[in-house]
């Protein structure tokens, strides 16, 4: 309470103009939230995220911003709104997520930040992907890829990965291979930018690129030894919680993809072992993407040749109950 009161005092003290201490305080809070988002359940950071976004908006609306500060505050507004939008998507509220993404895009445009503008198109694609709207997901990812064509950071690669995943749902194997090959080629020419320096949701690490590539193949219904090895490597890439790019959602997603690949390869017991850590996740971590990934495994179980096996029936029933045991997510 004392720290919160001190922050409120500092944010309100610069009545005539915004001081460097205020901007420094917001920098610290944005960096903390960006780092925490992939690592902590949404309920742990949601209130602070909304409060910090409100503080930035209040400063932008207050008429006390120097021209030299305006771009910086708009970048902060875009970053925070991006995370709030992702939060709404994690809560399975795609309409509100899309609305907040448009707010992030508006701030990014005001900041004239091409990387953030492209990233907001990527977030629209992500929202559409989990809302089972693959055509929209592919469209937004393609728009973002066009914006990011000359960007040297990893946002351009993320958009190609989003293209590949959406194309996989559409059953377009050629588009999947083209996008993934382009992403692999561009990885060698990456020059990290300010978004990569932020980290968290704003960088597309090699381990995440592998996870996306494997997921596209799994969604296409592929199995086989080589793909299973890649899927195991993707899981291994998120096995260390102390690694800088670790994210519980990416770990769970890659584990579900490994389960799918093993299932399509005829390894039912291996699939059950792969998804077990996901089903054992604390209820607070069961966001929309994780639930949808698990349900994708259930669909494959119930429609595949192993559906009559006792292991398949028991596992399918357990996955079916998985989303129902989620706790109340943050208030919307």
Query: What are the C-alpha distances in Å from 68 to residues 64, 71, 72, 78, 111?
Result: 12, 7, 8, 17, 11
Report the pLDDT value the prediction gives residue 14, as an integer from 0 to 100: 47
Distant-in-sequence, close-in-space partners of 117: CB < 8 Å, separation ≥ 6: 105, 108, 109, 147
Q: Are 156 and 196 in contact (CB under 8 A)?
A: no
Instruction: Count CB-CB contacts under 10 A for residue 32.
Output: 13
Distance CA 79, CA 82 (A): 5
Q: Are 84 and 50 in contact (CB under 8 A)?
A: yes
Report the pLDDT value the prediction gives residue 326, as an integer from 0 to 100: 64
Report the pLDDT value the prediction gives residue 11, as an integer from 0 to 100: 56
Taking all residues of the chain, what is their mean pLDDT, rounded to a whole number?
91
In the numeric block, the tokens 């999947």 are attached to 176
260 three-class SS: helix
Report the pLDDT value the prediction gives residue 306, as an integer from 0 to 100: 74
Number of H helices and E strands in the chain, helices first, is: 16, 0
**The dihedral sign for the CA sequence 246, 292, 132, 124:** negative
**Overall residue count recorded for the chain in this entry:** 332
Q: Are 95 and 62 in contact (CB under 8 A)?
A: no
Residue 66: which region, alpha, beta or left (left: phi > 0; alpha: psi -120 to 50)? beta
Residue ranges, the chain, pLDDT below 50: 3, 6, 9-10, 13-16, 332
Tokens of 49: 């995220």
Q: Each residue of 35-81: pLDDT tens digit? A: 999 999 999 999 999 999 999 998 998 877 788 889 999 999 999 99
Distance CA 169, CA 217 (A): 10
Q: Are 216 and 176 in contact (CB under 8 A)?
A: yes
Q: Are 14 and 22 in contact (CB under 8 A)?
A: yes
54: closest CA among 122, 116, 103?
103
Q: Each residue of 274-316: pLDDT tens digit? A: 999 999 999 999 999 999 999 999 999 988 777 778 788 889 9
């Amino acid at each position: 309470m004392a720290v919160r009161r001190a922050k409120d005092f500092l944010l309100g003290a610069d009545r005539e103009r915004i001081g460097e201490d205020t901007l420094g305080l917001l920098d610290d809070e944005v960096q903390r939230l960006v780092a925490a988002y992939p690592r902590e359940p949404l309920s742990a950071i949601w209130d602070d995220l909304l409060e910090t976004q409100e503080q930035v908006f209040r400063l932008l609306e207050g008429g006390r911003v120097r021209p030299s500060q305006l771009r910086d505050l708009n970048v902060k507004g875009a970053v925070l709104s991006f995370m709030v939008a992702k939060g709404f998507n994690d809560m399975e509220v795609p309409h509100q997520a899309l609305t907040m993404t448009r707010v992030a895009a508006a701030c990014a445009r005001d900041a004239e930040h091409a990387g953030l503008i492209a990233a907001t198109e990527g977030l629209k694609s992500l929202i559409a992907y989990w809302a089972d709207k693959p055509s929209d997901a592919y469209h937004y990812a393609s728009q973002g890829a066009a914006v990011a064509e000359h960007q040297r950071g990893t946002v351009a690669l993320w958009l190609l990965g989003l293209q590949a995943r959406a194309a996989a749902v559409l059953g377009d194997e050629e588009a999947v291979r083209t996008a993934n090959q382009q992403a692999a080629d561009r990885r060698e020419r990456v020059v990290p930018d300010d978004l990569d320096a932020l980290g968290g949701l704003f960088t597309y690490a090699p381990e995440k690129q592998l996870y996306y590539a494997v997921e596209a193949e799994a969604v296409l219904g592929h199995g086989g030894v080589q793909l299973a090895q890649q899927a195991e490597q993707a899981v291994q890439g998120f096995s260390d919680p102390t690694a800088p790019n670790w994210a519980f959602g990416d770990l769970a997603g890659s584990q579900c993809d490994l389960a799918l690949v093993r299932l399509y390869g005829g390894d039912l017991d291996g699939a059950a072992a792969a998804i077990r850590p996901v089903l054992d996740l604390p209820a607070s971590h069961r966001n929309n993407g994780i639930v949808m990934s698990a349900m994708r495994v259930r669909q494959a179980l119930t429609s595949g040749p192993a559906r009559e096996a006792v292991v398949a029936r028991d596992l399918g029933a357990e996955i079916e109950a998985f989303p129902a045991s989620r706790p109340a997510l943050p208030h919307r």
